[in-house]
A = this chain, B = another copy of it.
Amino acid sequence: MKPTIYDVAKKAGVSIATVSKVMNNQPVRKKTREKVLEAMEELDYKPNILASALMGKRTSTIGFLLPDIANPFVAEMARRVEDRAHEKGYNLVICSTDFDREKEALYVSLLNQKSVDGFILAGDFKNEDVLKSLLEEHIPVVLLAASHPSLLVNSVRVDDFIGGYEVASHLISLGHKKIAVIGEDATSSKERIRGFKQALQENEMNLRDEMVVIGGSSSEDAELSAAKLLADPEPPTAIFACNDILSMGVILAARGRDIRIPDDLSIVGFDNTLLSMNSDPPLTTVEQPIQDMCSQAVDLLIEEIEGKSKTKQRIIMMPRLIIRNSTSEYRAEDDA
């Protein structure tokens, strides 16, 4: 069997209380401490975290709920969160929720049973009741790449409104007049679209309702939406897809109709994932400061977990437009 605190105590010739004290850095005579440490070393003793957690100590485990770990943007966040958490001595249990309220509730409940120390909720968390009860029970939570307008909860995200605004400004500067937008049913998309519209309005342009479509999260969903948009007798000359994955669908739709990018159609994405860098053509997109966002989110959470919590924060970071080859100047050309 694996050595327990009793084995260490016996070998060091002290009581288990003393062993516990050296583990928890409580006052112990130097000589005694050394004896204990030595015994631990010899036995290759590793304290059982379950037992100490049962006594109210931390598990040093964070529940990380996200929409879908297979999504490249999400996966990259996961890596950043993991690295930061690891630096601070925490592990991550990761659950993909697919924006499904049931799954959200189930996973939160499950992880609570397993006594995680807190939660990072990435992307829109749909089940507000669950979020509220987490807050009521004072379980540490931080929202990542999301925020809540009325709840007192830590959150870290990019300024989606500005992101959308920048995209529109770019397209306008290229002379595009007829523009469409494809988003998913999430707050981030909606904010991006709001910013997008704002820029248009400031230039006395407007976005007809038929030109904005909110749909599913997959590339295929976007492909369908884009196909419809492009079938219009007067099709858009530019499409803003609210993230890179959706953009891939748009590219495919255009390719399917022999529409050249960017000559006939400009496309802009969001997130600056690997996909956008290697797509055909490389995609103009908006970069989020993932690394910073994730570090901050972890730091906020751990501060709360470890009780050094200051006041709740809503941190909003700035996005950056990255211009590649999927956008170009609009040239009126009659193909008819």
Contact = CB atoms under 8 A, between A and B. Distances in A.
Interface of A: 46-51, 53-54, 59, 61, 68-72, 74-76, 78-79, 82-83, 86, 91-96, 109-115, 219, 245, 248, 251-252, 274-275, 277-282
Nearest to A276: B278
Given A75-B72, A94-B92, A95-B82, A46 B113 contact: yes
A94 B82 CA distance: 8
A95 B62 CA distance: 12
Contacts of A72: 70, 72, 75, 274
A23 to B, nearest CB: 12
A115 B54 CA distance: 13
Contact of A70 (B47, B53, B78): B78
Query: How many copies of this chain sit in the oligomeric assembly?
Result: 2
A94 B62 CA distance: 11
A24 B213 CA distance: 50
Contacts of A245: 274
A69 B53 contact: no
Contacts of A114: 49-50, 59, 61, 91
Contact of A278 (B70, B91, B96, B251): B251
Contact of A48 (B76, B109, B113): B113
A112 B68 CA distance: 27
30 contacts: A48-B54, A48-B113, A49-B115, A50-B50, A50-B59, A61-B93, A61-B114, A69-B69, A69-B79, A70-B72, A74-B75, A75-B75, A78-B94, A79-B96, A82-B96, A83-B96, A91-B93, A91-B110, A91-B114, A92-B95, A93-B94, A219-B274, A251-B278, A275-B275, A275-B278, A278-B279, A278-B280, A280-B280, A280-B281, A280-B282
Nearest to A247: B278
Contacts of A278: 219, 248, 251-252, 275, 278-280
Given A46-B112, A280-B280, 16 more contacts: A48-B115, A49-B115, A50-B50, A54-B54, A68-B79, A69-B75, A78-B94, A82-B95, A83-B96, A91-B95, A92-B93, A93-B93, A248-B277, A274-B275, A275-B278, A280-B281
